[in-house]
A and B are shown apart, each in its own frame.
Chain A
Amino acid sequence: MAAMTLYDKLVTSHEVARIDDEHILLYVDLHIMNEYTSPQAFSGLAARGRSVLRPGQQMAVVDHVIPTHATPAASRIIEDPASSRQARNLKRNCDEQGIALFDTTDPLQGIEHVIAPEHGMILPGMVVLCGDSHTTTYGALGALGFGIGTSEVEHILATQTLVYRVARNMRIRIDGALPAGVSAKDLVIYVVYRLGAQGARGYAVEYCGSAIDALSAEARMTLCNMTVEAGARAALIAPDDTTCRYVQAHAPQLKGTDLERAREHWRTLYSDADASFDVEHVFDAALIAPFVTWGTSPDQAMPVTGTVPDPDAEPDTLTRMALRKALDYIGLQPGTPIAGVPIDRVFIGSCTNGRIEDLRVVAAMVRGRRVAPGVRAMVVPGSGAVRAQAEAEGIATQLIEAGFEWRQPGCSMCLAMNDDVLRPGERCASTTNRNFEGRQGRGGLTHLMSPAMAAAAAVSGRIVDARTLEQVA
């Protein structure tokens, strides 16, 4: 048999039928839904008298619109009438079709991409789709995950398959050790910066190399999650001992013979030694510094030691216009050092950085310090389980004592569909994934960075190199 990449293996093992030279009918092991990209799919089914083919392979959660005020989870209500209607609509659809739901008052509610792995729904070798672009997260566990639109949500509900155009293969090798104070978030912002916002468009990206081997399962989720900001169709990491340990700890339903057979299967999930990739990149982990975005696209980033670029130095006309537009929006002058830029808000959370390891890093950074005067800093855990864990570890108390708001889980100010919104002109150090114009609120100014960097910004009142802060302490 011809040598195959990991991506080829995942696609081939899920091919129900070939449609034409480019497209296949792809089987979906798990389909995840939220309250805002699924309603029209359910209505579309109902309009044609169709039903859900495999309810047991669907999971749904209210996460995008849910408020994150510190009221107890059990009494959480959505006051905004339109958002409340979306949540009620999702519950009705799930009840009617027998679909597992993590509803508004469920203590286990959280962000879809946080709760699915933490409860053992994501297993290596699966295909997992969701009407949300950050579904690429699941590649961290050796599952093929990617985002889809609402028409495709409807297609999966009815057929448990997707009409899928097979992507090309890209491999990114990152060897060496990440320097102290440099995390998976810095790594992925660096990758997006190097590839550009469409550098991986049309590709399934497989990460490998000693720097990737050294990452925890959660750190790998951060990496795969945000690879979509380079346009990637999917991001993958071959399962190893780290993966197996994580999955077994989170999926206790997998036991006995099933577990043995599953482990045997996971060992086959790698790219063959002579498999060919359409494109390969090699980066050196040792050269990566804490990265921060300065503009309005996730690839407009630089090391925290850098200065804001000058559009006039850009030869390409469209790119020059884009740089000018970005600087005009973000309110920074060319040549300004990014370290030292004052901030008004800090947001820690999201499907990129709302997991327990992220919160541990934040707690360690703020120990013995306080949120700077005039800064409003929010921590929104990725799920009810993450929140409970952080409370059990004393992290919540530490954060509250340091002046952070300790909130209930949800997507929150990552995309500001709920009432967590930046006001015009507010500058925010954010652990999220997109710094688009208006993403966190009209006129809001977003700088993407790691949890350590956001925590350092919170206690400093400005963007700082978190590594220097650690030395001072």
Chain B
Amino acid sequence: MNTFSIIKGIAAPLPLSNLDTDQIMPKQFLRIIDKAGLDQGLLYDLRFDEAGSPRDDFVLNQPAYANTSILVAGPNFGCGSSREHAVWGLQQYGIRAVIAPSFGEIFFFNALNNGLLLVALPAHQVDALLQCVAQSVGREIEIDVMAGQVRAAESWQATFELSARHRQMFAQGQDMVGASLQQLDEIAQYEARHWARYPWMKDVAQRVRARLDATT
């Protein structure tokens, strides 16, 4: 994971409510076993028409937003399906942060686990920022991850919350699995207690499969 404390770049307005992960990464791009090529699928139906030609009226296809690295979006961005492909696609396209009033719950954790910064701001501030980045003077904005600040043209500024854990993930990068593997002893101790109380929960998948195999 990349580590960084300042994200600076062109921000594009995407004032859509409930922009779901089906739209962020449509189904036809999910038939992979790696993460390759998802930049092509990003927001596909919004970016391209039925014939596969870019839609001129879509913001990311306009020359002024060609190098967009930040999206400013409506509430509940990333709702719906759990597909992490949505996050991978945003990153492969070059998006490093999304600013919105709120985010879908599973998408939120998927993003943070990949180092895609999500900034939640109150709706009126997102509205102001949407206006700002729609104008040529306001397209470039700066997000200071450590200070929790978004800065735009004409000294527009907003502060945002980020949990200590996530701030640290951005500052230092983190192998989440590696960190939890440090706790294998605690996990084993927990399991011993848990299975002593609820022995029927242990290896439930294996036991059921064995039962089914024995009867079919």
- A-side residues, CB < 8 A to B, are 13-14, 16-17, 19-20, 22-23, 25, 27, 29-30, 36-37, 39-40, 43-45, 48, 50, 53-59, 64-65, 80, 82-83, 85-86, 89, 99-100, 107-108, 119-121, 123, 125-126, 131-133, 146-152, 154-155, 158-161, 163, 165, 197-198, 201-202, 231, 233, 251-254, 258-259, 261-262, 265, 297, 318-319, 321-322, 325, 415-417, 424, 434, 436-439, 442-443
Contacts and interface: CB of A to CB of B under 8 A. Distances in A.
Contacts of A152: 109-110, 113
Contact of A121 (B110, B113, B208): B208
A132 B81 CA distance: 7
Contacts of A37: 82-84
Interface in B176-194: 176-178, 180-181, 183-184, 186-187, 190-191, 194
B209 A59 contact: yes
18 contacts: A14-B194, A27-B191, A40-B33, A40-B35, A43-B34, A65-B31, A82-B32, A86-B33, A125-B201, A131-B84, A151-B110, A159-B187, A197-B18, A231-B104, A261-B198, A261-B200, A262-B198, A322-B18
Interface stretch (B3-11, B19-27, B150-158): B19-27
B15 to A, nearest CB: 6
Nearest to A41: B84
A437 B45 contact: yes
Contact of B180 (A57, A159, A443): A159
B125 interface: no
Contacts of A259: 200
A252 B17 CA distance: 46
Contact of B15 (A53, A160, A321): A321
Contact of B212 (A119, A148, A442): A119
Given A151-B176, A158-B177, A415-B22, 12 more contacts: A16-B186, A20-B163, A39-B34, A40-B33, A57-B206, A148-B106, A149-B84, A149-B87, A198-B76, A253-B200, A438-B22, A443-B50
Contact of B105 (A48, A154, A231, A297): A231
Question: Which of A16, A85, A120, A147 counts the most B-chain CB atoms under 10 A from its CB?
Answer: A16
Contacts of A19: 165
A58 B208 CA distance: 11
B198 A56 contact: no
Nearest to A20: B165
B80 A133 contact: yes
Contact of A325 (B16, B104, B211): B16
B208 A16 contact: no
Contact of B16 (A146, A158, A251, A322): A322
Interface string B36-52: 00000000010000100
B30 A417 contact: yes
Nearest to B35: A40
B17 A322 contact: yes
B79 A197 contact: yes
- 8 interchain residue pairs of minimum CB distance: A56-B203, A100-B209, A56-B206, A149-B110, A39-B33, A82-B31, A59-B205, A149-B84
B76 A197 contact: yes
B106 A16 contact: no
Contact of A16 (B27, B123, B187): B187
A131 B207 contact: no
Contacts of A53: 184, 187
Contact of A161 (B26, B74, B84, B180): B180
Nearest to B123: A318
Given A415-B22, A424-B50, A439-B22, A233 B105 contact: yes
B201 A29 contact: yes
A198 B74 CA distance: 12
Instruction: State the majority secondary structure of interface residues on B.
Output: helix
Which of B80, B165, B184 lies at the interface centre, i.e. has the most chain A CB atoms within 10 A of its CB?
Answer: B80
B102 interface: yes
Contact of A108 (B79, B105, B181, B212): B212
A22 B87 CA distance: 23
Contacts of B20: 297, 434, 436
B211 A252 contact: yes
Contacts of A132: 81-82
Contacts of A29: 201, 204
A4 B159 CA distance: 35
Contacts of B190: 16-17, 27
A59 B209 CA distance: 9
B23 A437 contact: yes
A17 B216 contact: no
Contacts of B75: 198, 318
Contacts of A82: 31-32
Contacts of A265: 197-198
Contacts of B165: 19-20, 22-23
B205 A202 contact: no
B208 A442 contact: no
Interface string B96-130: 00000010111001100110000000010000000
A13 B123 CA distance: 37
B80 A434 contact: yes
Nearest to A80: B31
Given A56-B203, A439-B22, A253 B31 contact: no
Nearest to A433: B80
Contacts of A198: 18, 75-76, 79, 102, 104
Nearest to A201: B105
Contacts of A80: 31
A25 B45 contact: no
B205 A58 contact: yes
Contacts of A39: 32-34
Given A20-B165, A55-B206, A121-B204, A159 B80 contact: no
Contacts of A16: 183, 186-187, 190
A322 B163 CA distance: 31
B199 interface: yes
Interface centre among A126, A253, A321, by most B CB within 10 Å?
A253
A258 B200 contact: yes
Contacts of A57: 202-206
A58 B194 CA distance: 17
A442 B23 CA distance: 10
